[in-house]
Amino acid sequence: MVFDMDGVLVDSEPMHLDAMRELLRPYGVPYTDRENEEFFGFTDPEVFRALRARYGLEPDEYDLTRRRAALLVELTRKRTVPMPGVPDVPNALHRRGYRLAVASSSALDVIRATVDVLGIAALFEAVVSGLEVGRGKPAPDVFLETARRLDLPPRACLVIEDSRNGLLAAKAAGMGCVAIPCPATRHEDFSGADFRLATLSELLPILR
């Protein structure tokens, strides 16, 4: 079972948006809600590369990525809000013998801080960041790397995602996908998902 993190395990979108706007404010970049939606699933270097081209930002994408990750770790310690069903559902899956992993476009330090604050870090055999594989979603790289670390064929993995880009990445990796849209992604097209659920708590019954 491969979990996306933002919007699936934790209600982090407001925090991520605040961090991006705080980071870009000194450069006069407003960073709109539309831009934020445009980059769902992208890694930070991909986002900042696009924003540098768009706004002529001087710092390189990797400096901006490091600064945003540090800010998000700080905010995560103070403002983490679990999604409905967390930590109960991951704990129940672990008790049932499912092997669990996290595959997120967020920086590794942010992922680790988040699962630590949620109290579920010990449940995951693999924690993979899109920054480790280069291309963010909808490319399948982060999910393929997760399957490799679990020593499982992609077809044996089920992905839990909240965005269309995440769904496309899971399907491109040859994995099943359960879509659980969050408030920021409810308008997206999830027609290719194997299941669409309202909350993570609905996952357990379909696995019986």
User: What local confidence, expressed as pLDDT, does residue 13 receive?
Assistant: 86
Q: Could you give the C-alpha distances from 91 to 9, 28, 33, 80, 103, in angstroms and in order?
A: 12, 44, 34, 18, 18
Active site residues: 4, 6
CA 139, CA 42: separation in Å to the nearest integer? 9
The 3-state DSSP class for residue 179 equals strand
CA 28, CA 57: separation in Å to the nearest integer? 10
Tens-of-pLDDT digits for all 208 residues of the chain? Answer: 999 999 999 999 889 999 999 999 999 999 999 999 999 989 999 999 999 999 999 999 999 999 999 999 999 999 999 999 999 999 999 999 999 999 999 999 999 999 999 999 999 999 999 999 979 999 999 999 999 999 999 999 999 999 999 999 999 999 999 999 998 899 999 999 999 999 999 999 999 7
